[in-house]
Amino acid sequence: MKLLVFLFLITLFISCTTSASTNKHPLDPLTPSEFKLVRTTVQKTYKASSPTLTFQYIGLDEPDKALVLSWESSKAKTKAAKVPPRRALVIARFKKQTLEISVDLSKGSIVSTKVYSGQGFPMITFDEQDAVVELPFKYKPFVESVQKRDLNISDVVCSTASVGWYGEIKSKRTLKLQCFYTKGSSNLFARPLEGITVVADLDERKIVEYFDNFNIPVPKAEDTEYVATKQKPPFGPTLMGAAFVQPNGPGFKIDGHSISWANWKFHVGYDVRAGPMISLASIYDLQQQRYRRVLYRGYISEFFVPYMDPTANWYFKTFLDSGEFGFGQSMVSLEPLADCPANAAFLDAYFAGEDGVPVKISNAICIFERYAGDIMWRHTESELHDEEIREVRLDASLVVRTVSTVGNYDYIIDWEFKPSGSIKMGVGLTGILGIKGTSYTHVDQIKENVFGTLLSDNTIGVHHDHYITYHLDLDIDGEANSFMKTNLETVTVRDESSRRKSYWSVVREIGKTEADGRIKVGLKASELAIVNPNKQTKAGNKIGYRLFPGTVAHPLLLSDDYPQIRGGFTNYNVFVTPYNKSEKWAGGLYADQSRGEDTLAVWSLRNRSIENKDIVLWHTVGIHHVPCQEDYPIMPTLSGGFEIRPTNFFERNPVLKAKTPKPMRFPKCNSQP
């Protein structure tokens, strides 16, 4: 029986894997052959290779939005629409200068080249990080520091950290290295060599500064192991497995990178900086008998993770995970039946290494239907004289999932599509805390601010924040949209018409300029929505989609503190800006060592018109994280997110007539003999 179930699942998996696409999509990510073409084209012009010429970023240079929408419209009519010309955007380092190069992929030629002379540097590649983390082991002062601590250097591993900006004038690309002791545990981040700071020049590939300020005991390896095969009894809890079967096969189809499921269709792309990108998401309206677009383009624009330790060895740890380290570059291969359920299909992803050679991430994206026992809608009516009515509809959703491991943290990213028209964005935080070594073994010994929680002997989990900023180019049934605030205001009853003294009512405001689109969620009772002012329901309501914030946090750093200047895009939970193709990265195109001069917060100060325009909603999910002992030695997943939900978009409940599958009957298992 087990063999039959296994064979069925394998057949199911094969049946829903990616099919060959008959028409290439204009927003498809670059292919391995396109990466190779870019590499050949650029190297031919500059007659150099790594490390003289390095590729810091290669991605799709998106066609203009009008061209993509025209293609989509033509494809719906003819099925053979001509794809707009494809170009690649290349950000390269050549002789210590940053170049912006546009490559025509159809002709294999360079269209334009620009030398960037502003502040900040491009994304840091894995290859250059791998090169500099090996430098300390040939550096005599570092070797002596390890020996002074009575440690075996063969058990030491180093990792990278960006240096940020703190008011100084910088002209070199540098990283700081923090090193860890691995003897006795796979959990290297739990055993830092505190007090040692190594500064490496990325272009020169050499150590340029070194500090050994103090000697703190390395935390013990005991009880830090998380690898399953290295665990020792007692074990528990025991979780019982569950089988998932779909007798009629999967309910979704994949054509290249285009997905269709239930009443949804959309495109799943990939970028080495952003990770997954969702485009052209449209939902079928049963009454209007047509697909209606909701989201033109959505992705995570930036991650801001500032730690709250201002001391010499920690103050610089204020990371822009996307712009500095590449959230897409950091995506990992997903484990079937663990990261994703048995009914999942998988897509691979490709990015270019610093030498331009394509790198494959197998099983980078998984797509699956979720039947979690949730209720789509229900009602029990017992007031009728003749009968009791009980109507329930089983809910389901389609999930697009990726996981990115940026240093010590793992981020689980879900895009969940609901038949009701909602899209839920989920963020799961797991992995290893940012650990600081200490001499303390009990909280009673602590008489100073240690900037974190004592988790174990010699182990501090440092306070920090997570801010995840989403770029959502919502097109609610068309590009011309407006931002509407529905404020809930208390009204006092001042006459004798009611026994009540108060109630609340709504006052609606349409945002005129970007200043009206900057919102700190939670400070005022209000609903926030993107509406199409040019289209109404039969009842006269403007059609729209409402933002349902989930996990929000407001910055606690001073606004003139250097990390907060760079992370100014988190000053508000919501920004609304007019669509601008060049405004993609909330922390700026060149985030590494940036000065906050090219961020969402700065763009918004132009105070451009956002009424009845093609507009973009930016929303930041925020978490203040005070570590606790349950987060150690590895952190159970902490989940957050938000939802966008139709608001007067449909004439009535869009899943009123939804058909749910007939339940499969299984024999009951009796645990008693």
Catalytic positions are 321, 409
Pairing of strands 423-431, 409-417: antiparallel
DSSP state of 448: S
In contact, 56 and 93? CB cutoff 8 Å: yes
Report the 3 state secondary structure along 351-413.
Answer: EECCCCCEEEEEEEEEEEEECCCCEEEEEEECCCCCCCEEEEEECCEEEEEEEEEECCEEEEE
Backbone φ/ψ region at 86: left (φ over 0), alpha (ψ -120 to 50), beta: beta
**CA dihedral defined by 351, 356, 360, 361, rounded to 10 degrees?**
-40
Q: What share of the chain is helix, strand, coil (3-state, %, to 5)?
A: 15, 40, 45
In contact, 462 and 436? CB cutoff 8 Å: yes
Q: Which two tokens stand for residue 307?
A: 């730690």
In contact, 281 and 295? CB cutoff 8 Å: yes
In contact, 111 and 103? CB cutoff 8 Å: yes
Write the CA distances from 207 to 74, 192, 284, integer angstroms: 56, 20, 58
In contact, 270 and 276? CB cutoff 8 Å: yes
In contact, 273 and 322? CB cutoff 8 Å: yes
Strands (E), 95-248: 97-104, 109-116, 156-162, 174-181, 196-201, 206-212
In contact, 68 and 29? CB cutoff 8 Å: no
